[in-house]
């Protein structure tokens, strides 16, 4: 990626995104979204930072239906993002989520295997990273009375 930028998809994830932006020595963009009470649909209302002509690295902890994430991706593309890479820790991918990913401007969507894909669904855009080794190392550390924080560095 050239000219990459870390993107917080909402204000709640800004602290974590800021941590990664600092570690990677990349700029940070923060998106603010509001949910409409009647249908829980999220709408991006404000974007702090410049994404025009840059590659976006967008990550969230959980993706349920993909609506909020796809709204963020659509908004980034409208604001001139070149390439968009996204991901999540827990991909529930319920309902029409896989079709939303396929139809979106995201180039690659990375997820962990903490939750199985529903009904064997998949996408050419989807990459899965196993957390089995990390979980195994954490269990071993706890069993041996060692710190698990070293596993997260």
Q: What is the CATH number of the domain that holds 108?
A: 3.40.50.2020
Q: Is the pLDDT of residue 25 over 90?
A: yes
Q: Note the pLDDT of residue 118.
A: 83
Q: Is the pLDDT of residue 40 over 70?
A: no
**Distance separating alpha carbons of residues 47 and 112, to the nearest angstrom:** 27
**pLDDT (tens digit, 9 = 90+) per residue, 64-82?**
999 989 999 999 999 999 9
Q: Are 49 and 26 in contact (CB under 8 A)?
A: no
Q: Which of 33, 41, 82, 125 is catalytic?
A: 33
Domain of 71, in residue numbers: 4-152
93: left (phi over 0), alpha (psi -120 to 50) or beta: left
Give the pLDDT band of residue 34 (cuts 50, 70, 90): confident
**Distance separating alpha carbons of residues 95 and 77, to the nearest angstrom:** 24
Catalytic residue at 33? yes
What does pLDDT average to over the chain? 92
The CB density around residue 56, as the number of other CB atoms within 10 Å, is 25
Domains identified in the chain, total number = 1
Q: What is the mean pLDDT of residues 1-18?
A: 92
Q: Which residues of 85-99 are buried (b: 16+ CB within 10 A; e: fewer)?
A: bbbbbebbbeeebbe
Give the pLDDT band of residue 37 (cuts 50, 70, 90): low
């Amino acid at each position: 990626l050239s000219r990459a930028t870390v993107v917080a998809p909402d204000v709640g994830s800004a602290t974590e995104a800021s941590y990664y932006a600092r570690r990677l020595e990349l700029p940070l963009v923060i998106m603010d979204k509001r949910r409409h009470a009647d249908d829980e649909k999220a709408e991006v209302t404000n974007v702090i930072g410049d994404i025009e002509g840059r590659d976006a690295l967008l990550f969230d902890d959980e993706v349920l239906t993909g609506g909020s994430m796809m709204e963020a991706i659509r908004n980034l593309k409208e604001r001139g993002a070149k390439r968009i890479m996204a991901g999540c820790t827990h991909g529930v991918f319920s309902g029409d989520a896989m079709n939303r990913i396929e139809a979106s401007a995201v180039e690659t969507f990375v997820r962990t295997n903490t939750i199985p894909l529903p009904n064997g669904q998949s996408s050419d855009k989807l990459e899965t990273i196993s957390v089995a080794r990390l979980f195994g190392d954490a269990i071993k550390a706890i069993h041996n009375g060692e710190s698990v924080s070293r596993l997260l560095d």
